[in-house]
Amino acid sequence: MAEIVVLGSANMDLVVRQPRLPEPGETMFGSSFTTVPGGKGLNQAIAAARVDGDVAFLGAVGGDAFGGELRETLAAAGVDTDAIALVERPTGTAHIAVLDGGENAIVVVPDANGVELPLDDVQRAAIRAARYLVVQFERPLPLVAAAVAFARSVGVTTVVTPAPVLPLPDGFLEQVDVLVPNAAEACALAGIDDEADAARALSALVGTVVVTRGARGALVARAGDIVAEVAAHPVTPVDTTGAGDTFTGVLVARLAAGDAEAAALRAAAVAAALATTRAGASTSMPSWAEVESHLR
């Protein structure tokens, strides 16, 4: 059984590089097309495994070529894939436009990720044996909520990336130990325009809030106050896809490895920055040796 269980999405990312987003009705040329394993859950699982985390992935794929490739990618990264469900829907896809400046725009087609499945005995056993449960909102929310509630009931630390932002059931946030939104997600979730104020408000409900802000680093809030700021690691970005997932995966892996919170946050910031210097999501995530060399 793994120390870190990630319950989340697995997609095949279909990535087009292009100079800008097209106007409505416009046809334009892109400069390249690639397929890259992705999905927030898969990305976080691989990011954690790359920095020596002990990780199991609870996901759902179809019986198509994309599904097989995603399983192989996870296994090659050292992630336990035994509890991935095979469903009668195509594997999920994400259609990603990467602009020349490094920013991206993404449309996700959930397919297998969106199939309504109950939290089964295999998943419960994996969560019970873990120290951390990591979830996002690209799987059906009832499944995510059930997993978080079960994890809390057995003393497992819950880590939530609230993406995409959805209306949450009553009491959900109170079961979250660590909430890791980006600035836009924090503001949307709190209903507050200022990201620092949003972090403060959310931290009155959850254990710890870590708001990622790209090149502006991250804010850490607890019990209604900003308690720390994490500086960004300076790089020249090529593709920001998966940077937030890298941050979360590495943060949890380093906490599980026994790092103090400040050291784990710094490692996560460095790893996320390094991930932006390469194309793709799961293919861009650095190893612990790379992160450690930059920390030194």
DSSP per position, 224-259: TEEEEEEPPPP---S--TTHHHHHHHHHHHHHHTT-
To which H or E segment does residue 211 belong? Answer: strand 208-212
Mean pLDDT computed over 80-101: 93
The pTM of the full predicted model, rounded to 2 decimals, is: 0.92
Domain extent, residue 152, equals: 4-295
Q: What CATH number has the domain bearing residue 283?
A: 3.40.1190.20
CA distance 191 to 188: 5
Extract the annotated binding site for substrate: 11-13, 39-43, 138, 245
| pLDDT classification of 106: cutoffs 50, 70, 90 | confident
Extract the annotated binding site for K(+): 239, 241, 275, 278, 280, 284
Q: Is the pLDDT of residue 283 over 90?
A: no
Report how far apart the first and last C-alpha atoms of the chain are (Å, whole number): 32
Domain count, the chain: 1
Length of the chain: 296
Helix axes 183-190, 195-203, angle to 10 degrees: 60
Q: Which of 295, 285, 241 is nearest to 13 (CA)?
A: 241
Q: Which residues pair with 208 in a beta bridge?
A: 178
Q: Catalytic site residues?
A: 245
CA distance 145 to 142: 5
| pLDDT classification of 100: cutoffs 50, 70, 90 | confident
CA distance 19 to 4: 38
Q: Is the pLDDT of residue 66 over 90?
A: yes
